[in-house]
Structure 1
């Protein structure tokens, strides 16, 4: 068979993988089969179910808590992928930045935007299916994610000239430090089959995105002028701690529990007790994920990043 001229002159491995494996190119619409049994969210990933008093409320309450948590999960996807990930990729493609990206990187960023908008479409589609099946389910407020809050707060501490590059760096960190065990939890036997299928499809894309964003992180940091490295690097540890915070999760769980118990004081007390003693420290798995990415990309050797972590007494 005659080889396509494009293949001879332009080989883009990431693009070829995307063409053959991305969900939007290869998968049908995601339907929730409500005749099937199973939870909509892993109970081991919902801290409220660590409290025996809540567990004693019965199976129906447990199902409601996990359903509401899945709603939050879908809403987080919609907001994070539109407000941050696609925004960063758009900057890579179109902005006149101090880092000049090759056309191949810009092309691959286009595939990320396509994937992420598809993820938003699927999440919205599933929310509509859930709304139709559970018309009486009370809606709760979904607080701003800690990831989005972290980006906003650090940008407020940086000179405006550094904002776009910082946003790209931040998204690279998000997309390379996914909690991989989430897939394992969703693959447990008690998860609804339609949700298990959906999560695995989503993570199929995210596993490819990891490679793109890891390379983008390394390339961006390598090509940044020293003043950018200094300004962004000095805030690196603060950004990581803010990004990995659980304030958003705690607020959601307080509001959700209060909606169930109709007792705000008790709800706050239970949630505070569940999270008592939790802190972002270097020995928790997600922080280790961050450190691994920094080491693999050699960012751990950057003097400004090293000094930033030294200030909070974390050793890279």
Structure 2
């Protein structure tokens, strides 16, 4: 894709962005779940169901807090940083004004998503009386992106950052879509996810086009160097270490016996997906590589062969 072919989505943003069109979502006090059971397998484990099923809602609320915390970090520390640099023309990869304008709408959207997420945390604490346990101060991307960028020569570091953020934005879109369809959770939570999805669908296309524009100009040598870094990023991105540490803290906060605590931690330790083509997020990642044109390059095909069907 040539930069001259880029078409801004400014009009669509004005008419469809959630910050422009959506009212505040208010948490309902009803019997529906505050977080999907399928997204916190701890509460479905044999030990949990036997030893402390009455603490399910506490565990789900804490997991919602962790999800909200992740959203705030992702939106304000990861996506905002790169989008803001592009918008202010301070990114090493230069883009035309139309791209930079759209990048600024991404900044506005993402910071608004973080605000809405924090509002939901505030509402949940007020309604349930449950305060958050210690939450992580980083997400997987907080480690994965610096690890990938550190492997790149100086002139490619911004390009690697761009591609990593684009991968993440396209991955989270599919994840949010699944969340928004879950009929077991409160309507306000589903609505929150649907609102988020409306913006993220636009963002995922934006980041794919930014990468296509860059990739169109990259030399074969630069493409090869970046391709060698991609598996390193994916391996760091798909790790389960931060989630596992949180789950251990959550288990420590449950009112259960020491034996049950040990059993739960053992079960949680076995929940991590293998980091290969069967990981549930890999399909979204590969889809991005196709849509962004990276997978048209033989060097990328070779580098990612372990993740391709």
TM class by shorter-chain length? Answer: 0.7 to 0.9
The reply to whether residue 216 of structure 1 matches residue 213 of structure 2 is no
* Corresponding residue for residue 235 of structure 2: 241
Instruction: Choose the corresponding residue for 1:309, options 301, 304, 308.
Output: 304
Q: What does residue 107 of structure 2 align with?
A: 113
Which whole-Å CA distance do the structure 2 matches of 1:138 and 1:212 have between them? 34
Matched, 1:85 2:79: yes
Matched residues in 2 for 1:216 and 1:281: separation? Answer: 27
Q: How many residues align?
A: 301
Specify whether residues 279 and 28 from structure 1 end up closer, same or farther in structure 2 by C-alpha distance, changes over 3 A only.
same
RMSD: 2.4
Q: Alpha carbons of 1:143 and 1:50: their partners in 2 closer, same or farther (altered >3 Å)?
A: farther
Contact kept? 1:98, 1:224, Cα under 8 Å: no
Change (3 A) 1:238 1:65: same
How has the CA–CA distance of structure 1 residues 262 and 94 changed in structure 2, closer, same or farther, with 3 Å as cutoff?
Answer: farther
Question: 2:25 is paired with a residue of what secondary structure?
Answer: coil
Gapped regions of structure 2 (runs ≥ 5):
1-5
- Partners of 2:164 and 2:180 in 1: how far apart? 26
Per-residue deviation, 1:175:
1.1
The question of whether the paired residues in 1 share the 8 Å contact of 2:47 and 2:263 is answered with no
TM-score normalised by length of structure 2 = 0.88
Equivalent pair of 2:170/2:204 in contact (CA under 8 Å): yes
Matched residue SS, 2:304:
helix
SS, match of residue 34 in structure 2:
coil
Report the 3-state secondary structure (helix = DSSP H, G, I; strand = E; otherwise coil) of the residue aligned with 1:31: coil
- Which of 9, 12, 21 pairs up with 1:26? 21
Residue 187 of structure 2 aligns with which residue? Answer: 193
Could you give the per-residue CA deviations for residues 256-290 of structure 1, whole angstroms, max 9, x where no partner exists? 11221464644432211344xx3022133421221
Alpha-carbon contact 2:177-2:194 (below 8 Å) kept: yes
User: What is the Cα deviation at residue 13 of structure 1?
Assistant: 5.1
CA contact (8 A) 1:169 1:220 kept: no
The reply to whether residue 271 of structure 1 matches residue 265 of structure 2 is no
